[in-house]
Every structure is written in C-alpha cells, then in structure tokens.
Amino acid sequence: MTSLDDLRRMVETALERSLPASAPEPILDAMRYGLMGGGKRLRPCLTLATAEAVAMRDKTPLGDARSRALPAACALELIHSYSLVHDDLPAMDDDVLRRGRPTTHVVHGDGMAVLAGDGLLTHAFALLAEGPAPADRRIRAITVLASAAGAVGMVGGQAIDLIAAGKVKSYPATPLDAETLQDMHARKTGALLRAAATLGAILAGADAATISAIDRYATDLGLAFQIIDDVLDVESSNEALGKTVGKDAAAGKPTYPALYGLEQSKQLAADSIARAKRALASARIAGLLPDIADYTLSRTN
Ligand code: GRG
C-alpha cells in the first residue's frame, strides 16, 4: 500500500512540473522559490489520500483516482504557498524566515513576491480546469476551491487577522474574542484544509454522504492542526519549525495555549483527531486518512 512518504514524493515530482514554463524567467524563479524547497505538503497529500481512499472503498481503479486528483493536489499547494508568500510580506506579517529559508520577498523583493503569489494563485485554477477528471467534477472542484481560498474563506480569515493586528487603515484594531478567533482560524486555515480533502472526494466521484463525512473529518483535522500550530509556537524553536516562533504570543494574540494552557490544548487537539477518525469510520473510509490524522497530532514542525 502507498505510504504518506510515497504521496509526498508523488507531490514533489508533480509540483516540479506544474509551473507554466513559458512565463518570463524572473517571475518563474520567484514562483519556484515560494513553492519548492520545503513544506510538509499536507494539503496535497490530503487530496491524494482522499481520492485513493474513495477509490479503495468503491473498488474503482486507483490509477484513475490518483491521476484525476494530482492536478488538484498541486493546485492546493500552489494556493497554500501563495498565501505564505503574501503573509510574510512587510504589509502583512513581515517575516524573514519560512520553511527554513529567507522569505520570498527577502530574496526577490516585495514587488516580485506579490507577483509570485498572484502567479501561483492564478495558475492553480488553470491546473484544475485542465485536469483529466470529468468536466462536471472539475467545475465543482473549482467552485469549492474558489470559495475556500477567497473572501469567504482564507482571504476573509486573513482580513480578520489583519484588523486584529491593527494593520487596516479603514477599521480600528479589534481584539479577538474566543468566538472571533475560532471564526478566523476556520476561514484562514480550516477552509483550505477542508477543500483539500473534499476535492479529492469530488474528483474521485464520491457520493454526497461520503463528501459530507470527509468534510467533517477535515474540519476536525483543521482544528487540531491549528491547536498544534499554537502549541509548537510555544514549545518549539525557529530551527525546528523553519519559521519565526513566538510571534503570536508576543503580539498578545489569544492562542489556544494562552486561553486553555498547554496540557488542555493538547487534549483538545487529541479530541478533535478522535472525532475526525469517527467521521471516517461512519463512511467506512480509511486508506491513509487515519495516518494523516495521527501525523497532524504528533507533528514536530
Ligand atoms: C495572504 C490571503 C493570505 C492568507 C494567508 C496561511 C496564512 C493565510 C497565513 C500563514 C500564517 C499562519 C502561521 C497560519 C496558520 C497555520 C498555517 C497555515 C501554517 C502553515 O502551514 P503548514 O504548517 O506550512 O502546512 P508548510 O510550510 O509545511 O507548508
């Protein structure tokens, strides 16, 4: 059976080939820098693992599920990488370290980093549109991803974060209460993780009940991912994480450890992962999805 490492290797090879070769070399360089060289590739692995799990349960050809999901897996990673490139810009989080290397704007300049993000985001939708899955599934996948990545999802979550940080001229800085914090995470991080998983199911031709169970799995996975991100921000180091740690706490952001303490935060993450696995069991679906849930809980970077 395929392992999580096999999926990562498949993703890396596909990503290498995914960028538009006819783009001018300088923008291609900056896009490649933002995309390649590090990253856990959690979202694309989730897309592939979901498509494979559906194919295994429904006894449909694994190769078809994989080739139909691979462009979507790449699209997810292009969008995630664009969000990191833009998030690190001086106008946003202003960070110099990402995936263990200087951030894209530090190497290529602010203007080119903006364009690299724009190029990655736009090309992601071209990959999805051109994929080998049946057209109705591709259109549905594009609609779901546009909503998850856009103002309703990730961009909206980032806007809430930016306002809380006092970086929006037209809105006063607003401290986050627990409810708004949860809404911000659900949009900023959760929406793309949910899209990553559901796209795999959509492109593999899953029925509505399965897509809904996968969505519940990914919602709890996203919650655990965020809690562990906050825990690592307290317990880990710049070297281990490859990014600057402790910024949220220093900025006075209400993180999970700040709200609940470290031990209770870890328990909340474990509870979410248990719920995520129950959602899988309810749809009699497995493959590598339980492994990805365990990895999300035990990850160290
Ligand atoms: C600029 C529109 C826009 C959005 C930015 C994702 C994001 C929104 C900001 C990144 C800041 C952050 C730390 C978010 C919370 C969790 C998160 C998404 C961490 C990074 O994802 P990983 O750990 O990163 O999957 P790798 O490098 O492994 O791909």
Hey, is 233 helix, strand or coil?
Answer: helix
Domain 4-215 falls in which CATH fold?
Farnesyl Diphosphate Synthase (1.10.600)
Which residue type occupies 218?
Answer: A
Q: Give pLDDT tens digits for 149-184.
A: 999 999 999 999 999 888 899 999 888 888 898 999
> 102 forms bridges with which residues in the sheet?
97
The whole-number pLDDT of residue 38 equals: 87
d(CA 199, CA 211): 9
Q: Would you write out the chain's pLDDT as a tens digit for each of its 301 residues?
A: 789 999 999 999 999 999 999 999 999 999 999 999 889 999 999 999 999 999 999 999 999 999 999 999 999 999 999 999 999 999 999 999 999 999 999 999 999 999 999 999 999 999 999 999 999 999 999 999 999 999 999 999 999 999 988 889 999 988 888 889 899 999 999 999 999 999 999 999 999 999 999 999 999 999 999 999 999 988 888 888 888 888 777 777 778 898 889 999 999 999 999 999 999 999 999 999 999 999 999 998 8
The whole-number pLDDT of residue 246 equals: 80
Atom of ligand 1 nearest to the CA of 38: 27
The whole-number pLDDT of residue 128 equals: 98
Q: Best of 188, 295, 299 to mutate for ligand 1, by most ligand atoms within 8 A of CB?
A: 188
The whole-number pLDDT of residue 11 equals: 97
Atom of ligand 1 nearest to the CA of 226: 16
Q: Which residues line ligand 1 (CB under 6 A)?
A: 39-40, 42, 80, 83-84, 86-87, 99, 154-155, 158, 188-189, 229
Q: Please, what is the angle between helix 62-87 and helix 42-58, to 10°?
A: 160
